[in-house]
Amino acid sequence: MAYLDHAATTPMLAEALDAYTTAARDVGNPSSLHAAGRCARRLVEESRERIAAALNARPSEVVFTSGGTESDNLATKGIFWAQRSASLNRTRVIASAVEHHAVLDAVDWLGTHEGATVDILPVDETGAVDPDALADRLDRYRDEIAVVSVQWANNEVGTIQPIHELARLTAEAGVPFHTDAVQAVGQIPVDFAASGAAAMTLTGHKLGGPVGVGALLLGRDVPCTPLLHGGGQERDVRSGTLDTAGIAAFAVAVEMSVKSQQDYAARVSALRDDLITRVRQVVPDAVYNGATADRLPGNAHFSFPGCEGDALLLLLDAAGVACSTGSACSAGVAQPSHVLIAMGADDDRARSSLRFTLGHTSTIEEVDQLLAALPGTVERARRATAWKTPR
C-alpha cells in the first residue's frame, strides 16, 4: 500500500518502538515509592527533560496527557475555568474557524454549558488568520477574554499560522494564548519559549511515537483548572497513572523528529512538490487548497470538481493508496470540511477534497502509485456523481 495519510498517524520510529518495548518489560508505577516505582519515575523525568530540551521549554512546563485531544481540552477548558474563577471573571473564548475539532468542540461546549462567549476568528482563502483581526478583538474585549486558541499549522490544508505575532499580541494584552502544534512539531521549527505561547499541544503518534500519549506545554505561571481529579500527578493539573513506556517512546520520537527536522522537511517537501506538479498534469482542473509558501512540507490538499471525496478515497483505497478526505462524519452523514468552508469554498468544493500527507517513510514509489491510479479514479468518481445527480 502507498500510505499517504501521515497527518492522521505516522509509523513509529524504530528507536521509539525500541524505547517502548524496553520500558514495557519493567514493572513499576512512577508514583510508587519503592525501587521499581523510583526507576519508573526516573525514566519519566528523564523523558520530560528530553522533550523540554527539544522544544525549548522548562521540564516543569511539560504536562503529560493521553494525546492531542486531551491536551486541547485541558488548555481551552482549564484556562477558561481558571480565568473565570479568578478575580478577572473573564468569560470570552477566541478560536480560529479552522481549528481541529478538539478545540472547536471544546469551545462550543464551553459556550453551551459554561456560559462562555465564543468568538470565532475568520481566515483568508489560504486558511490563515489575520493578526489584525485578533488585535481588533483584543482592543475591544481584552478585559473579557479568558483564552485565545489558534493552531500552529492546519491539520487539513497544512497552512502555517503567524503564531509568533498572534502570541505577541495576546501577551501584550495580558491574555493566555494556546496553540495546537500537533501537526507542526517535527515538520517545522517549533520553539515554545520563543513562540510566546502560554500553552502548546503536541502528541506522540503524529511524529513517530505511540498512540495514546502526548503533552501540554503549560507555562509555570499560567493557571489551569484540571479536567481530571485524583492522585494529583503532573502539577495537580492532570491526575492519573503515567504511561511510563509510552512517555519514554514519546520522548525519543520528539527528540529525533526535532533533530532531523531540516533534513526531513527538505526531502519530504521535494516529494510533495513532485506530487503536486503531477496531479495538476493528470487532473488539470484539480483545485489546490491552502497556502503555497507557509505550508507544512508534507501536505498536499486538492479538490476534484465533479467528485465526491468519499468515493475518491474508497476507489484509491481499492487501488492500494491510503489518503483522507476533508470531510467529517457525523451520525453516518458526511459533512463538508469546515476548514474549506471557512476559507470560502462552496459545499461542492469542500465535499470533493482529498488530503495527501507524506511522512518519514514516504517514497517516490508511493507517489508513482498514486499518480498511476488517480486519473482513472477521478473519471470513475465523476461518472458515479453524474449518475446520482438528479436531472
* N-to-C CA span, the chain: 38
Q: Which of 63, 72, 22, 301 is nearest to 182 (CA)?
A: 72
Q: How far apart are CA 29 and CA 240, in angstroms?
A: 11
Q: How far apart are CA 391 and CA 389, in angstroms?
A: 6
3-state secondary structure of 202: strand
Q: Which grid coordinates belong to 208?
A: 513517530
Among 224, 307, 323, 329, the active-site one is 329
Q: Which grid coordinates belong to 205?
A: 503518534
Q: What is the DSSP letter of 48?
A: H
Task: With beta carbons less than 8 A apart as the criterion, state whether 283 and 304 touch.
Answer: yes
Q: How far apart are CA 123 and CA 116, in angstroms?
A: 22
Q: Which residues contact 104 (CB under 8 A, 6 or more apart)?
A: 95, 338
Task: With beta carbons less than 8 A apart as the criterion, state whether 68 and 250 touch.
Answer: no
- Residue 188 pairs with which residues in a beta bridge? 185
| Secondary structure (DSSP) of 209-257 | S-TT-EEEEE-TT-----S--SS-TTTTTS-S---HHHHHHHHHHHHHH
- Residue 260 pairs with which residues in a beta bridge? none
Within a 13 Å sphere around the CA of 241, how many CA atoms are in the beta-carbon half? 7
Vertex 102, ends 229 and 256: CA angle to 5°? 90
- Pairing outcome for strands 321-322 and 333-335: unpaired
Question: CB burial class (10 A; 0-12, 13-18, 19+) of residue 336?
Answer: buried
Check if 329 is active-site. yes
Within a 13 Å sphere around the CA of 205, how many CA atoms are in the beta-carbon half? 13
Cite the active site residues: 329
